[in-house]
Structure 1
Amino acid sequence: MLYSDTRYMLRAISAEQRTLWDKFITTHPNGHLLQSWQWGQLKASSAWQPLRLALWDNKAQQIVAAAQILRRTAPYVPVRWAHLAYMPKGPVVDWSQATLCEAFFRQLYARLAREGALALRMELGQLAGSAEAELVQQRLTSLCVQPAQAIQPLRTIVLDLTPPEDLLLAQMKEKWRYNVRLAARKGVTVRVAQTLQDVQAWYSLLQTTGERDQFGIHTLDYYQRAWQLFAPLNQMRLLLAEHNGQLLAGIFVALFAQQASYLYGASSNIRWAKQQGAHLYDF
């Protein structure tokens, strides 16, 4: 398949262009939180070096595809010498356009090779087994991409938030509805975290939960950094459930590209996501 290098050009996006980047990622049907500018900033605090690359259409004068690539290398080894490249929930591209996909990937491969990438690992945003995922697989096979073991979940549960709130409640199991109403009657309240001390209190609860249920967690600094980056932009909330001043549960919920996503915690909050205009809730 042929394409014109003069029409499509792969460009690095600078910090001064971050608004342009997030506008494209937010409004694209395949946009995802893990491709947002702020997510790259968060991962930069834990030894990753983000690289944002956009395919520019010289004819339409706009971005038509993009990928945030996280790069990591061995201690004291410069990225340009050798590194591993990781693309979470990307690229953000219209997979139905074969010519566009080929232009993007051929230029992407060439650039990463020039800049020292030993390998590129991609974790797609499409749900495994979906019709869209099948199309993506066909495109990647034609580009000689090999399957690898996943890091991010291959499957998830997604709730449609467009129905009215009372209908969403009616669709829950009877026991769940009972528990929701019982908590309200018993005086359990939910509030939004306002300070780093709130995050620290939640983290203490998360440590206890992680030890009990035997799952790994990040450091306190990581969660506080996430809250500092996303909360001011209304792209993430830490919701805390309390009773008589005692913290009972908490959850980080992200909101990006009209989709809310459960990130960290041991419960879920759907009402806030719906009020903020999310169409889907990813558990």
Structure 2
Amino acid sequence: MKHGYVLKMIRERRIWDGFLEEHDGHLLQSWGWGELKAEEGWRPLRLALCEQSTGRLVAAAQVLCRGADWIPTWCGHLAYVPRGPVLDWSHDEQRAIFWAALHRLLRWRGALALRLEPPLLAGTALGEKVARHLLTSGFRPVRTIQPLRTIMVDLRADEATLLARMKEKWRYNLRLAARRGVTVREAQTLEDVRAWYELLKVTAARDGFGIHRYEYYERAWLIFAPRNQLDLLLAEHDGRLLAGICVGRMGREALYLYGASGNEQRQLMPNYLLQWEAMRRARASGATRYDLWGIPETEDEHEPLAGVYRFKRGWGGEVVRFIGGYEYVYRPLGMGLARRLLGERLAL
């Protein structure tokens, strides 16, 4: 390849995750996330742009490919980069070289289209510049798969400052939980994971949202927890499990992924103590921000998740919006056929 770079397939977790840690990559670009999604029918390609002279990685994209079970084999497959790629977005030449190499490879492998959701924020100079560049480089905007908006809590302050930034009721409730004997510990066994999943089923039924089968969460815990990339925190009272949350970690970010709580003893406020303990642990591990992972796209009080939004809003974080999803179509005829065959499923 010209310009002294080459696109390589990375086959070692240590090299891949090491690059992500160094460059503040997202958990959804991690080796483990690719492993987890492989069980759901995705095929991860871990592609890195490397300097030819030194072999040093300068950019990377975990591309999740899916085809055979969604789309007839002869039709092609879809390629998806969640919260990526990981690169220096301000380096115009390097970015252009990376896109050219990635497009070339995906076309050769038979991709119908590439869909990506960059980890860049709308309203920032860099985010707006990249969004304009994507639109003038053949990409078109599409609906996102990952949350478009979220709340980020800045963990760089000391604990007293973090508490002061919260709404008063949130401080009161987490202290109330501690005073009334609620304790928080990390899950240690698969029995702990199973007990938490039983609470998740209760939560899903109560709040009306869908969940994965148990094996998905078990595999996530087995993949990430041994590498200190995920904590399953459990809140208990007198030995009884009340609630639990899964918090992922990658680079300088902690990410609240899943939460579950029972219908009994909710007056003990276990969810408040759980979130505070998760933030404290994330900060102690070196994280500088805590992503509360998704809020409704509008401020409408009638949104189905308005209650979840109010809970997340009380922690003193900043509401942020990503620049959105973008799609680059390689094979328009094949993509048109796939849309007719799959309809709404193509957006998943």
Q: What TM-score do you get using the length of structure 2 for normalisation?
A: 0.76
- Provide the alpha-carbon RMSD of the alignment: 1.7
Structure 1, 109-118 or 78-87: larger mean CA deviation: 78-87
Residue 22 of structure 2 is aligned with which of 27, 33, 44?
A: 27
Mapped contact 1:191–1:241 kept (Cα < 8 A): yes
Task: Give, as a single letter, the amino acid of the residue that structure 1 aligns with 2:6.
Answer: M
Aligned residue identity for 2:117: E
Instruction: Give matches, 1:81-230, under 5 Å.
Output: 82-230=76-224
CA-to-aligned-CA distance 1:168-209 (integer Å, 9 cap, x gap): 112211111111111111100001000111111111111111
> What letter corresponds to residue 53 of structure 1 in structure 2?
L
Change (3 A) 1:130 1:217: farther
Q: Deviations over 1:183-238 (max 9, x none)?
A: 11110000100011111111111111111111111111000000000000111000
- Equivalents in 1 of 2:291, 2:71: separation in Å? 38
What is the aligned partner in structure 2 of residue 7 from structure 1? 4
Q: Distance in 2 between matches of 1:179 and 1:155?
A: 26
C-alpha separation between the residues in 2 aligned to 1:206 and 1:77?
Answer: 32
Separation in structure 2 between the aligned mates of residue 79 and residue 137 of structure 1, nearest angstrom: 32
Letter in 2 for 1:158: M
Change (3 A) 1:75 1:126: same
Offset at residue 75 of structure 1 (A) = 3.0
Distance in 2, Cα, partners of 1:187 & 1:76: 49
- C-alpha distance in 2, partners of 1:61/1:75? 36
Alignment partner for residue 270 of structure 1, among 273, 276, 279? 279
The aligned counterpart of 2:289 is: 280
Task: Give the conservation status (yes or no) of the 8 Å contact 1:71–1:79.
Answer: no
Deviation, structure 1 residue 132:
2.5
The structure 2 residue matched to 1:36, chosen from 18, 30, 41, is 30
On the 8 A contact 1:127/1:154 being kept in 2, the answer is no
Mapped contact 2:232–2:247 kept (Cα < 8 A):
yes
- C-alpha distance 264-79 of structure 1, shift in aligned 2 (>3 A): farther
Higher relative contact order at CA 8 Å, sep ≥6: structure 1 or structure 2?
Answer: 2
Partners of 2:44 and 2:286 lie apart in 1 by 29
Instruction: Kindly indicate whether residue 234 of structure 2 is the aligned counterpart of residue 240 of structure 1.
Output: yes
Counterpart Cα distance in 2 of 1:100 and 1:42: 30
Task: Return 5+ residue gaps in structure 2 as ranges.
Answer: 261-270, 293-348
The offset of 1:6, in angstroms, is 4.8
Whole-angstrom distance in 1 between the partners of 2:140 and 2:288: 33
- SS, match of residue 51 in structure 1: strand
- Are 1:251 and 2:245 matched, yes or no? yes
Paired amino acid for 1:111: L
State whether residues 6 and 58 of structure 1, in contact with CA within 8 Å, keep that contact through their aligned partners in structure 2: no
Assess if the C-alpha contact under 8 Å between 2:20 and 2:250 holds in 1: no
TM-score after normalising by structure 1: 0.93
Per the alignment, do residues 141 and 282 of structure 1 end up closer, same or farther by CA in structure 2, a change over 3 Å counting?
Answer: same
SS in 2 for 1:156: strand
Q: Is the Cα–Cα contact under 8 Å of residues 127 and 156 in structure 1 kept in the other structure? A: no
- Is the Cα–Cα contact under 8 Å of residues 192 and 240 in structure 1 kept in the other structure? yes
The CA distance in 1 between the partners of 2:240 and 2:255, in whole Å, is 26
2-side partners of 1:97 and 1:239: how far apart? 39
Aligned length: 277
Question: What's the CA shift string for 1:105-124, capped at 9, x where partnerless?
Answer: 11111110110111111011
